[in-house]
Amino acid sequence: MIKRAVYLIILVLIHLVYGVTWLSLLKLSLGIILVFYIAVPLIYHFYPTVPRHLVFLPFLRWPRGISFTQPELSGLRAARNFYVTTSDGVRLGVWHILPEQEIDRVSNGDGEPDSTVFESRLSSGAPIIFYNHGNSGSRAGPHRVELYKVLRKIGYHVVCFDYRSYADSSQVIPSETGVVSDSRFMYKWLRQRAGRSPIIVWGHSLGTGVTSHMVADLCVEGDRPTALVLESPFNNIQEEVRLHKLASLYRKMPGFHWLFLKPLRDNDMMFESDRHIANVTVPVMIMHAEDDLIIPYSLAVKLHRAALRHHPADRIEFHTFEAQYHYGHKYICRSPRLPGLVRDFVEKSIHWHNKQ
């Protein structure tokens, strides 16, 4: 009702200020309705490229001018860039960031670590954070780099990568199956080199949908990691799309589900974390900011409730970051609470894992 009133006021102002006739304004209104309420929904529904690009946003390559081969230019000293090729021929760009206590031990004399020893240090016993980012950008996103620095300061290795279609990875059309396969390949690569070092899988935003699916599959197969961290998660992508700000234009339209939600299932983009979490048999930590404008806090609450339906409460942690701190969707990494929360969760998860 408010939107309609605002639109009418705008039309009246155009008529009064610019002298546009009511007939012309009617034609303009009909044109807007035709484009926004008929053409756009039909294009979204019948052209799979459109919802795929809106879910994954691989074309938003920020920041510009990143040299992925030189992570030190992104402020990450003692970090290695390399590439792996998956079983289906997709090349993935990867960074391995050493924990602070490892830097001096592997220095080659000029202050930078010798790349030949990076893989060997993965089995040193220090926990490994396997980070899966959200949509848009790359592993070099500024808020992601902030988080890597927090984690390495705690004493953890950080291994992060770009899915297919992102950054300097192969430009292959993404899908849920595809990005979960990429994450799974990287996990297996890590597992082969980690020895007895704990691996904590960490997903942010869309990456929580990737990691929930991937870790559930690993648990079913008996190759589970030490723990799973879900930062700013949704419960499933259909609810996230339905509650998204852009969807408010169409939410009350007849056929909204068929027009906007059905293409997600038809084109392999469901990301049903609330279903997959039933098979996640490792400790889980969920973190969400109340003022998240991208993924509503309520969806994290729903995911937490889904987890509690299948797992004991002492294995599922939920941490709220109050709106007064303005962390939003990306900046929980700036909370002074975060290092302690992560350290305690990782230690408890290692203890739980060792008892199994």
**Is 248 part of the annotated catalytic residue set?**
no
What is the Cα gyration radius of the chain? 23
**Is 24 part of the annotated catalytic residue set?**
no
What whole-number distance in Å separates Cα of residue 330 and Cα of residue 341? 17
* Closest to 346 (Cα-Cα) out of 317, 306, 322: 317
Active-site annotation holder among 162, 168, 217, 292: 292
What whole-number distance in Å separates Cα of residue 61 and Cα of residue 140? 10
**Contacting residues for 93 by C-beta, under 8 A, at least 6 apart:** 68, 81, 83, 138, 139, 161, 162, 167, 168, 169
What whole-number distance in Å separates Cα of residue 292 and Cα of residue 45? 28
How far apart are the two ends of the chain, measured CA to CA in Å? 57
Active-site annotation holder among 204, 213, 288, 329: 329
What whole-number distance in Å separates Cα of residue 239 and Cα of residue 251? 11
Active-site annotation holder among 74, 165, 181, 205: 205
Contact 355, 324 (CB under 8 A): no
**Is 183 part of the annotated catalytic residue set?**
no
What is the side-by-side strand order in the sheet with 199-204? 79-85, 91-97, 157-161, 128-132, 199-204, 227-231, 284-289, 316-321
179: β partners: none
The gap from C-alpha 32 to its chain's centroid, in whole angstroms, comes to: 34
Contact 95, 79 (CB under 8 A): yes
Structure-token match 């795929």, residue found: 52
Residues marked active site are found at 205, 292, 329
